[in-house]
């Protein structure tokens, strides 16, 4: 990334104090103040320049401005909703109710004006992946049978965010039933990548990532079983954090496999990721930056760096040089037996569990339909996958014996291997390019060309993120540059299980070294 790009990105991501105050004040003045707007059905349109300044605020800065009254929650919500409407063609949302969002924003303003305590997410509209239960909105899972389905209550994570002062900014589009990496949803339409609408945003949390990248909101909720937070973050040029498995609640989330399922945030700044973690984990201690000098990062070129697209390889190499320049230590070491262990813990665990866990979800949440009915009404691509790999009697149906061996023998062995790897390398994190390629075109879901080679889509998108999913490691995805085709490239940093706060502290410093990528040209 050039110096000019770095300067442009920094300006977009981090307004100076003077610009922030002036921009926030302009947002307030354009709407005429809290009291005069309380009874209005919608805020008056803000001047274009002040709206842009609102859209560029991080969640941390927007919340700070709303808490002081420099920016009203209604004006901020209005700016985000205008952005959502203007970029509707990206198809980032399945459900969006502007009147409900504005009503809750006005209530946040009234609470602040009355002197009532404000929460750490006061007034912040947050898009939520449409696989997490919400009482105010339907939860479809992106599948036809659940269109209009209203769960009885918010998922605990959603309830925690709302109790902290957040507002649900609609439900975001996703790969149907979270069963894929493209978000090319045949039931609700494909989500489009803001950097190039002919490209996928990644999946399954593609709608959340697209919304964050396109400045429809600064911070959103995603969910990850086998890369569904990290792949969209990588392909859309935003940050994504999959915490150690079970760090945040996954109750009330449409499941795939509870051994691997994990909710988490996507955002444009590390401060916002850290804020989300503090609220979601219930640990409100500050998270400060950890200097990188002397910190050890491990990699294995024989796995994570094989068959990279030349531009991904170039940008990754530049990122490694930046880390070395600030005193970080790069340790190269093989992960013994990794390929074999991954083969024996592959999709068979998810393919076994998804049927049983979806049956349980439907029953517990009163969906009033069976698993068989859910699948029968699914889109053709999802029905085909389930017919081949999930349903009893199918060619790929996983026997109990095979499942037991995978879960009780190979999965513990894989997790011990990574525990030993961290001990051997003394690394704070493993680093690697998140995907082998930049965002493929919508519809290119079989083979991809990398140089003169043909690589399967699943390998190009899913190979590198697979170990972290199956071992339950905390994984942080950070954009590292823009390829010659104008699409983002990112790196992932996976830390030892349970070291989430340390990884986030490192992330705050990594952000300063790696910088930000320019916003999408939309």
Catalytic residue numbers? 129, 204, 228
Half-sphere exposure of 362 (CA within 13 A, CB side): 19
- C-alpha to C-alpha distance for 158 and 133, rounded to whole angstroms: 8
Contact status, residue 292 vs residue 513, Cβ threshold 8 Å: yes
Work out the number of other CB atoms within 10 angstroms of the CB of residue 260.
25
The alpha helices in 335-431, defined as continuous H runs, are 338-344, 348-364, 371-376, 380-389, 400-405, 411-425
Angle at which helix 98-114 crosses helix 73-86, to 10 degrees, equals 160
Per the rule left: phi > 0, alpha: psi between -120 and 50, beta: everything else, 20 is alpha
Which residue in 467, 472, 476, 479 sits closest to 501, CA to CA?
476
* DSSP codes of every residue in 9-67: HHHHHS--HHHHHHHHHHHHHHHT-HHHHTT-SSPPPPPHHHHHHHHH--HHHHHHHHH
Which residue in 492, 459, 503 sits closest to 240, CA to CA?
492
Query: Measured at the alpha carbon of residue 205, what is the angle toward residues 118 and 225, in degrees to the nearest 5?
Result: 100
Measured CA to CA in angstroms, residue 179 lies from 142, 183, 252, 364 at distances of 10, 9, 17, 21
Contact status, residue 435 vs residue 198, Cβ threshold 8 Å: no
- C-alpha to C-alpha distance for 509 and 522, rounded to whole angstroms: 29
- C-alpha to C-alpha distance for 457 and 143, rounded to whole angstroms: 23
- C-alpha to C-alpha distance for 96 and 220, rounded to whole angstroms: 14
State the DSSP code for 121: T
What three-state secondary structure class fits 468?
A: helix
Residues in the chain: 522
Contact status, residue 455 vs residue 307, Cβ threshold 8 Å: yes
């Amino acid at each position: 990334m050039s110096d000019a790009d770095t300067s442009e990105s920094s300006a977009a991501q981090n307004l100076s104090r003077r610009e922030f105050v002036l921009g926030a004040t302009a947002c307030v003045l354009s709407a005429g103040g809290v009291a005069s707007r309380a009874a209005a059905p919608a805020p008056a349109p803000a001047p274009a320049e002040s709206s842009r300044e609102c859209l560029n605020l991080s969640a941390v800065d927007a919340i700070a401005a709303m808490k002081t009254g420099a920016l009203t929650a209604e004006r901020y919500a209005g700016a985000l909703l205008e952005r959502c409407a203007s970029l509707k063609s990206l198809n980032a949302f399945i459900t969006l109710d502007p009147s409900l969002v504005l009503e809750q924003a006005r209530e946040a303003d009234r609470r602040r004006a009355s002197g009532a305590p404000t929460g750490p997410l006061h007034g912040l509209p947050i898009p939520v992946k449409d696989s997490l239960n919400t009482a105010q909105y339907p939860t479809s899972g992106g599948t036809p049978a659940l269109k209009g389905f209203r769960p009885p209550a918010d998922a605990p994570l959603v309830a925690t965010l709302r109790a902290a002062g957040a507002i649900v900014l609609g439900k975001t589009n996703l790969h149907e039933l979270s069963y894929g990496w493209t978000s090319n949803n045949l039931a609700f339409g494909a989500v489009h990548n803001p950097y190039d609408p002919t490209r996928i945003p990644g999946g399954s949390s593609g709608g959340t990532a697209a919304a964050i990248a396109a400045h429809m909101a600064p911070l959103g909720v995603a969910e990850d079983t086998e890369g569904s937070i990290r792949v969209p973050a990588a392909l859309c040029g935003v940050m994504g954090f999959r915490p150690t498995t079970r760090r945040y609640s996954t109750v009330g989330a449409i499941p795939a496999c509870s051994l691997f399922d994990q909710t988490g945030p996507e955002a444009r700044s590390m401060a916002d990721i850290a804020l989300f973690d503090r609220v979601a984990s219930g640990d409100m201690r500050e998270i400060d930056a950890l200097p990188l000098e002397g910190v050890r990062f491990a990699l294995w070129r024989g796995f994570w760096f094989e068959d990279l697209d030349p531009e991904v390889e170039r940008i990754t190499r530049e990122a490694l040089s930046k880390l070395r320049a600030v005193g970080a230590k790069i340790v190269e070491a093989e992960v013994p037996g990794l390929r074999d262990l991954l083969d024996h813990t592959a999709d068979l665990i998810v393919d076994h569990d998804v049927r049983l866990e979806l049956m349980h979800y439907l029953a517990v949440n009163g969906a009033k339909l069976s698993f068989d009915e859910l699948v029968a009404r699914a889109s053709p691509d999802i029905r085909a996958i389930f017919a081949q790999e999930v349903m009893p009697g199918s060619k790929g149906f996983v026997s109990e014996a095979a499942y037991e061996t995978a879960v009780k023998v190979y999965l513990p062995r894989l997790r011990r291997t990574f525990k030993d790897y961290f001990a051997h390398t003394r690394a704070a994190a493993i680093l690697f390019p998140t995907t082998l390629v930049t965002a493929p075109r919508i519809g290119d879901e079989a083979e991809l060309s990398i140089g003169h080679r043909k690589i399967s889509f699943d390998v190009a998108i899913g190979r590198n993120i697979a170990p972290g999913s199956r071992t339950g490691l905390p994984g942080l995805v950070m954009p590292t540059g823009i390829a010659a085709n104008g699409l983002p490239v990112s790196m992932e940093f996976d830390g030892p299980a349970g070291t989430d706060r340390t990884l986030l502290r490192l992330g705050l410093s990594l952000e300063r070294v790696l910088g930000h990528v320019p916003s999408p040209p939309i």
